[in-house]
Amino acid sequence: MAFFHGVKASEVATSVITPVSTTAGLPVVFGTAPVHLTSDPKAYVNKPVICYSWDEAVAALGYSEDWDKYTLSEVMYSQFKLYGVSPVVFVNVLDPTKHKKSQKDTTGRAVSDHQIIVDDAVLLSTLVVKKSSASEVAVLGTDYTAAYNDDGKLVITLLETGALYSEATLVLEYDAVDATAVTSADIIGGASADGSSKGLELLDQIYTMFSLVPGIILAPGFSEDPTVASVMKSKALNITDLFRCIVLTDVDTAKCKSYQDVNEWKKTNSYTGKNQVVCWPCVKNGDMVFHYSTHLLGVIGVMDAGNSDVPYQSPSNQDMQITGLCLKDGTEVMLSLAQANLLNSQGVVTAINFTGGWKSWGNYTGAYPSTTDVKDTFICVRRLFDWQYQTFILTYWQEVDVPIIPRLIKAILGSERIRLNGLVSRGYLLGADIDFLESENPTTDLLQGIIRFHTKITPPVPAQNIENTLEYDVSNFKSLFE
């Protein structure tokens, strides 16, 4: 060591490991978007995009009020306009190179006031305008302009300086997006021959792309399909072989028009996952009809934001931005408290307008009542367990491949106890502890570099049954003689 005369200092790494923050309810939404309304329709096809605002989402994916065709627009409106919750990860599976139809006029289209309005979802790059089928192709920017208006309709305007300005009819050729060509198989997706992923298979890429773990998965408009719902459940239980989260799914209101039909449909189609929330019926806001899962996503987002992003609270009895219940076709649905409670007892989440306006109603996952394990039946308990998974993994990933010595064990135990005690003191847990048990760490495993910790946590369960016993107290008659 070099000679030194005086005083000096140095530092070592902090002995307490800082917890990693996660977005507990990060939504990952699969569906279709009106990409023909964007500047680059191919930019976000089976490529997740994270959006923090309405403008950002519209710029990336476009927006259309035709929610039956473009399901991501429904979630976009609900999250950003009604609930004000962000961020949202959108995955559009509508591929304009695949889901399209070609149009070639054989007769001319009428020009009105030097304009033609086209209702089709035209891909602008494919648009061809001619005076007649045998004529030369008109020049964009010279003879005409083409742009979508606020109603999502394509407006072709003839320029006064162009060769078509005085024409009464024109012939159009183009490719148009065909959202009806998108099937459940596109949502399910899979691995392509070139090694790329599509649909739900993209879940494994979310953390790599955004450093955020999926917290809630939904596919409104497609999750009524039992095949899609089963894949959603499966994928959510094993994200990148590390994480897990819940899925929000809807019951098909075309087949379940009454609350009495729901339980049989739920059991027959295996909507019974312990990480699955089953919703019925649809909801409306004014004249707009939404899938229930879309609004429940907003409810959870608002609730989590009020709880410092700790998912310890049940989404039941929370305010909903709705004006009623309905079927997908808009038919109004009326539910009494007793009928809503029956659905709850069958593991179905619904809504009631009992006191204080419309509220979400239901605490159980789809696994109830066939499953009774509290961590798999209460939505809030299941979510907190999933959150504990991802928080522990991400916080202590930095300790992977560090030498197994007592200091490592003590560092993890000490740091995790501090974090858990903080959750207890804030009321997010009733109690918690972590141990390193010799019985769970045999020498054969230690020789392979495997160490195991054992954490016990007690998330609170919702007070879904509050009772009060009244008694007539005759002893108070004595006050008459005082």
Q: Which residue ranges form the domains of the chain, and what is each CATH number?
A: 27-95+182-380 (3.40.50), 100-177 (no CATH), 402-474 (no CATH)
Taking residues 328-356, report their average pLDDT.
Answer: 96
Statement: the pTM of the whole predicted model exceeds 0.85: yes
Q: Is the pLDDT of residue 22 over 60?
A: no
In the prediction, which pLDDT does 193 show?
75
In the prediction, which pLDDT does 20 show?
46
Q: Which residues make Cβ contacts (< 8 Å) with residue 157, sequence separation at least 6?
A: 114, 115, 144, 145, 146, 147
Dihedral sign for Cα atoms in the order 400, 406, 407, 409: positive
Taking residues 388-393, report their average pLDDT.
Answer: 93
Taking residues 262-289, report their average pLDDT.
Answer: 97
CA 98 to chain CA centroid, nearest Å? 25
In the prediction, which pLDDT does 12 show?
53
Helix 406-425 and helix 379-396: axis angle, to 10°?
Answer: 150
Cα separation, 41 vs 45, in Å, equals: 8
In the prediction, which pLDDT does 382 show?
97
Q: Mind listing the pLDDT tens digit for each residue in 68-81? A: 999 999 999 999 99
Q: Is the pLDDT of residue 284 over 70?
A: yes
What percent of the chain clears pLDDT 70, i.e. is strictly above it?
A: 95
Q: Which residues make Cβ contacts (< 8 Å) with residue 247, sequence separation at least 6?
A: 216, 217, 218, 223, 229, 232, 233, 236, 273, 275, 276, 277
3-class SS letters over the chain: CCCCCCCCCCCCCCCCCCCCCCCCCCEEEEECCCHHHCCCCCCCCCCCEEECCHHHHHHHHCCCCCCCCCHHHHHHHHHHHHHCCCCEEEEECCCCCCCEEEEECCCCEECECCEEEECCCECHHHCEEECCCCCCECCECCCEEEEECCCCCEEEEECCCCCCCCCCEEEEEEEEECHHHCCHHHHHCEECCCCCEEHHHHHHHHHHHHCCCCCEEECCCCCCCHHHHHHHHHHHCCECCCECCEEEEECCCCCCCCHHHHHHHHHHCCCCCCCEEEECCEEEECCEEECHHHHHHHHHHHHHHCCCCCCCCCCCCCECCCCEEECCCCCEECCCHHHHHHHHHCCCEEEECCCCCCEEECCECCCCCCCCCHHHHEHHHHHHHHHHHHHHHHHHHHHCCCCCCHHHHHHHHHHHHHHHHHHHHCCCCCCEEEECCHHHCCHHHHCCCCCCCEEEECCCCCCCCCCCCCCCCHHHHHHHHC
Q: Is the pLDDT of residue 342 over 80?
A: yes
- Among candidate residues 263, 469, 464, the one with its CA nearest the CA of residue 366: 263
- Among candidate residues 470, 436, 443, 413, the one with its CA nearest the CA of residue 16: 413
Cα separation, 50 vs 36, in Å, equals: 19
Give the strand pairing for 27-31 and 216-218.
parallel
Average pLDDT of the chain is 93
In the prediction, which pLDDT does 416 show?
96
Amino acid code (one letter) for 133: S
Give the strand pairing for 27-31 and 88-92.
parallel
In the prediction, which pLDDT does 8 show?
59
Q: Mind listing the pLDDT tens digit for each residue in 31-78? A: 999 999 999 999 999 999 999 999 999 999 999 999 999 999 999 999
